[in-house]
Structure 1
Amino acid sequence: MTNRKIVSPSDMAFSYMGRIDFSKPDSPLFIYAGSMVSTKFTGTSVGMMIFPHLIYKVTWIGVIVDGIQYKFDLNHSDTPVYIPIIDGLDEGEHTVTIYKRTAGSHHYFNFCGLMIDENAEVRPENHEYDMNIEVYGDSVSSGEVVEAVNYCEHTDPAHISQFDNSWFAYSLQLARKLNARINCNAQGGISLINGAGYFDNYIGMETVYKQMGYEPHFELTEWDFSRYTPDYVIIALGQNDANPDPKRIYEKEYREKWKSVYKNMVLDLNEKYGGKARFIVITTVLMHEPTWDDALDEIVNELAMDNVKRFKFRRNGAATPGHPRIPEQTEMADELFGFITGWES
């Protein structure tokens, strides 16, 4: 790190995206998959100071420099660590984005600064977006196992998190297609309702959607909804609710309870956003029983709100028994892009 300097995360040149905890401005905490920080910089090298909080033993952090993507191992540390990104760049202006590749159940990290050449500087991106979108979903929305591209339309290979990459989830691909900011509030294994799914301690999105932090290894903290108002809210939940009892959804009492929780979440978000957001209710191309889609049809019909619409993919619930890979995620992003641009016109 000779002849280099560190730029504080609180520098105004940085632009952030996602539900990020800024209670410590000089070391903001990244929680959700797809949360990111970007800036322009001059000089020939760049690195980052990261304080990793690992839950899994092996995980990675994502970086994009001048459009080229990299990933770096994160290992356990009790203090911030320096991670060199790239040396030998041409003189001039460059762009860098540091992002969370994986969901919160894998790790959190504090961004503690950008390391650049001593005589270099950071500059604001000043990118102008056309809209804001928000996604509530599970592992598909957070991009788990997307890079196992040799397993399209097949079950997952053995994996830890080496194939996860939120950058290629339909949610982030859609945001780029729409030139939109995104808060991707997705967690692998999560259900809608508490007491189901595969996420730790069976915490459901009915609890998590209000949270900044949600991983049981960390403190649960409330999200300030005034910080971000989306134009579109995509809710992609239901597939994990079949665990541990896939037959409960056929029971009238449980089905009504499940639908009530879903409707209350939509109504609460609609109120929080002053009725200005449009809601898109979906499941994904991951194979699942059609009864969950039937229940979502019922929910949208019962809500009978002009700003709440149902959308089904061409291969909804029928494309793959494993997590959708990059091509399948792109397919979903393309179809959602068409639906949203049609709604806009």
Structure 2
Amino acid sequence: MKRQWKTVMAALMLAGQACAWAGVAVQADDAQLQYTGRIDFADPARPMLSWPGTSIEANFTGASLAVRLDDQLGKNFFNVFIDGDLAHPVVIEAAKGSKSYAVATGLQPGAHRFLLTKRTEGEEGGTWFQGLELADGGKLLAPPPRKQRRIEFFGDSITTGMGNESPDDGPDDRLKDKNNFMSYSSITARALDAEAHITSQSGIGVMISWFPFTMPDFYDQLSAVGNNDTHWDFRSWTPDVVVINLFQNDRWLVDREKRLQPMPDDAQRVAAYRAFVQKIRALYPKAYIVCALGSMDAVQEGSKWPGYVRSAVDQIRAQSGDARIDTIVFPFTGFGGHPRVKQHQANAAQLTAFIRQKMGW
């Protein structure tokens, strides 16, 4: 009888361990996962996400979902949306190192959908995606169809969404308040049902940045973590539309901070911007290029910087006959900080209408 009781206890302990470890591990290289953005697949079992707005999406079954991440610095934030509820993300504050994050429990039987997006950017470091954990019996289904339209954004903190969820009267440099998903760039892409690549970095400029590299140094990297020697394969993904929103940091650093000496004259400013746009045109000869500026004080009344952008575009048109390029200026509202979500929404509405008209979308 004593031996029988021990056998029953052992069976119960094993059953408990089985429950504790029950579940289905989905590896990061599963073909049913859909990745979007400049993602480093050097190790397919641990792809690295660094650019803002990079995303992973899938359809699945099972009552629960957890995400496994290995964060480089412990500074990144992510959104996870379940079943298309874009108004109520589960926000992951990634801890440094490898960790599993439960993002959904108690789901009903049947098919579900998840979307993970990177809120933060390369200055917060990279994050290695290590896969998913589904409830026991769960599985991945065929992924959602890829969007047919493509837009790439080259920009600074405005394009990233720096401080967009900060209170109007509060600081806008807290990492938790940076949410690329609610930036004008990502909002525009969703409105146009387009896949987006967000090639942006807070503080970056064309001629000068708040750090020792500029967008002409940075735009061709696979990894967004600082100035590095990684290389993005531009042949792997070609946008239909390119939006360039740069020169806000140049305006501050050149005119206000006097960081460039000798001070570039108007012609040199126009030439620097034109040279970068021509790099993008060489990469994407068929794309429609939108040279944007705003909505911070580079576009305030009396500013010369919108004129620099327009002059550069006019010169490109005159020299090459390029008809697939134009300018747009997001108006300055007088708000002194980074644009908040409501300003991003207004800018996105303006840009969406502009692209619809130009592209027939």
Superposed displacement of residue 337, structure 1: 0.7
1:95 and 2:104 correspond: no
Say which of 172, 176, 179 aligns to 2:186. 172
The question of whether the paired residues in 2 share the 8 Å contact of 1:285 and 1:319 is answered with no
Superposed displacement of residue 251, structure 1: 7.9
1:186 and 2:195 correspond: no
Cα distance 1:257–1:214, how it changes in 2: closer, same or farther (>3 A)? farther
The equivalent residue for 2:356 is 341
1:127 and 2:180 correspond: no
Give TM-score, length-normalised by structure 1.
0.89
Q: Does the residue aligned with 1:105 lie in a helix, a strand or coil?
A: helix
Q: What do residues 39-81 of structure 1 show as CA deviations (whole Å, max 9, x unaligned)?
A: 0110000001101011xx644222111224111221222xx22
The question of whether the paired residues in 1 share the 8 Å contact of 2:199 and 2:219 is answered with yes
Say which of 287, 306, 327 aligns to 2:323. 306
Stretches of structure 2 that go unaligned for 5 or more consecutive residues are 1-19
The equivalent residue for 1:259 is 270
Q: Which whole-Å CA distance do the structure 2 matches of 1:137 and 1:162 have between them?
A: 20
Say which of 272, 288, 294 aligns to 2:307. 294
Stretches of structure 1 that go unaligned for 5 or more consecutive residues are none
Q: What do residues 295-318 of structure 1 show as CA deviations (whole Å, max 9, x unaligned)?
A: 1011011111211101123xx234
Most deviating of 173-182 and 114-123: 114-123
Cα distance 1:189–1:14, how it changes in 2: closer, same or farther (>3 A)? same
Correspondences of 1:40-59 after superposition (within 5 Å): 40-54=59-73, 58-59=75-76
Cα distance 1:190–1:115, how it changes in 2: closer, same or farther (>3 A)? same
Superposed displacement of residue 270, structure 1: 1.6
Q: Which whole-Å CA distance do the structure 2 matches of 1:101 and 1:235 have between them?
A: 20
The question of whether the paired residues in 2 share the 8 Å contact of 1:8 and 1:112 is answered with yes
The question of whether the paired residues in 2 share the 8 Å contact of 1:31 and 1:108 is answered with yes
Q: Which whole-Å CA distance do the structure 2 matches of 1:132 and 1:58 have between them?
A: 29
Q: Which has the larger radius of gyration?
A: 2
Q: Which whole-Å CA distance do the structure 1 matches of 2:62 and 2:341 have between them?
A: 33
Q: Which whole-Å CA distance do the structure 2 matches of 1:266 and 1:291 have between them?
A: 19
Report how many residues are paired: 329
Q: Which whole-Å CA distance do the structure 1 matches of 2:136 and 2:229 have between them?
A: 39
1:116 and 2:134 correspond: yes
Q: Which whole-Å CA distance do the structure 2 matches of 1:69 and 1:107 have between them?
A: 22
The question of whether the paired residues in 1 share the 8 Å contact of 2:126 and 2:225 is answered with no
The equivalent residue for 2:78 is 61
Give TM-score, length-normalised by structure 2.
0.86
Q: Which whole-Å CA distance do the structure 2 matches of 1:159 and 1:128 have between them?
A: 34
Q: What do residues 120-177 of structure 1 show as CA deviations (whole Å, max 9, x unaligned)?
A: 11123332424100000011111111112x41xx6x5264211111110010000100
State the AA in 2 paired with 1:311: I
State the AA in 1 paired with 2:22: N
Q: Which whole-Å CA distance do the structure 2 matches of 1:337 and 1:89 have between them?
A: 35
The equivalent residue for 1:197 is 209
Q: Which whole-Å CA distance do the structure 2 matches of 1:303 and 1:86 have between them?
A: 51
Cα distance 1:321–1:132, how it changes in 2: closer, same or farther (>3 A)? same
Superposed displacement of residue 259, structure 1: 2.6
Q: Which whole-Å CA distance do the structure 2 matches of 1:34 and 1:333 have between them?
A: 16
The equivalent residue for 1:6 is 25
Superposition CA RMSD, Å: 2.1
Cα distance 1:293–1:158, how it changes in 2: closer, same or farther (>3 A)? closer
Q: Does the residue aligned with 1:90 lie in a helix, a strand or coil?
A: coil
Q: Which whole-Å CA distance do the structure 1 matches of 2:76 and 2:45 have between them?
A: 23
The equivalent residue for 1:329 is 344
1:283 and 2:293 correspond: yes
State the AA in 2 paired with 1:99: T
Q: What do residues 222-252 of structure 1 show as CA deviations (whole Å, max 9, x unaligned)?
A: 1110011000000000000134331669988
Q: Which whole-Å CA distance do the structure 2 matches of 1:223 and 1:5 have between them?
A: 33
Superposed displacement of residue 24, structure 1: 1.1
Greater share of helix: 2
1:240 and 2:249 correspond: yes
Q: Does the residue aligned with 1:188 lie in a helix, a strand or coil?
A: coil
The equivalent residue for 2:4 is none
Say which of 335, 342, 345 aligns to 1:320. 335
Q: What do residues 199-240 of structure 1 show as CA deviations (whole Å, max 9, x unaligned)?
A: xx3211011111112433x74301110011000000000000
State the AA in 2 paired with 1:334: A
